[in-house]
Amino acid sequence: MKDLFDLLDKLKLNSFNNIVEFCTKTRLDKFVLTLTEAFVYSSAGSGFINIPSEYNFSASMTLSGSNFPCEDPVHRIARVSELATFSALYANSTTIYNPFDFVYYFINPELSSNKRITKIEEIKFRHDAIVALSLSLLFKPLLERGLLKYSRTIFSEC
């Protein structure tokens, strides 16, 4: 996770406003490259070994900030905030779905047919980026300590 936080620092993504500005104003090609880098760093994991415990918790996609039942980034982040409060009180560690997984599905050539990106797909990609970057910034202390972890749900071979 250190590499992910170094990337956020390098890009000066240290506030929600900076994240929103970066996600809405950055040229698409540069934006996709940056998010791909963030995806790789987040997939590398936190470096903590998950010690078996009755107090480890694995969250559903909804509690992890997915776009169901609401697509709005503010509501998605709020759901994870509620989960983090619960986790801090009751769990040794909580695993949530990696918020950067959407990048894989956006860039994977096997899943796309080399077609032009529609404006709606670009907007959704940018919204998902706001959520992923905001969650990483907001929960940096929990992620650094291994109290909150991103799952590794994407596995690929060369």
In a domain, 24, yes or no: yes
pLDDT in tens, 104-151: 988 876 655 556 778 888 999 999 999 999 999 999 998 998 888 998
In a domain, 91, yes or no: yes
State the residue range of the domain holding 69: 2-150
Q: Please say if the pLDDT value at position 97 is more than 70.
A: yes
pLDDT in tens, 12-23: 999 999 999 999
- What per-residue confidence (pLDDT) applies to 139? 92
In a domain, 158, yes or no: no
State the Cα–Cα distance between residues 149 and 152, nearest whole angstrom.
Answer: 9
The partner residues of 96 in beta bridges, in order of sequence, read: 150
- Measured CA angle at 1 (ends 98, 70), to 5 deg: 25
24 and 129 Cβ atoms separated by less than 8 Å = no
In a domain, 156, yes or no: no
In a domain, 112, yes or no: yes
- What per-residue confidence (pLDDT) applies to 111? 57
In a domain, 155, yes or no: no
Domain count of the fold of the chain: 1
- What per-residue confidence (pLDDT) applies to 118? 87
- What per-residue confidence (pLDDT) applies to 114? 54
Q: Which pLDDT band, with edges at 50, 70 and 90, does 49 fall under? A: low
In a domain, 157, yes or no: no
- pTM of the prediction? 0.86
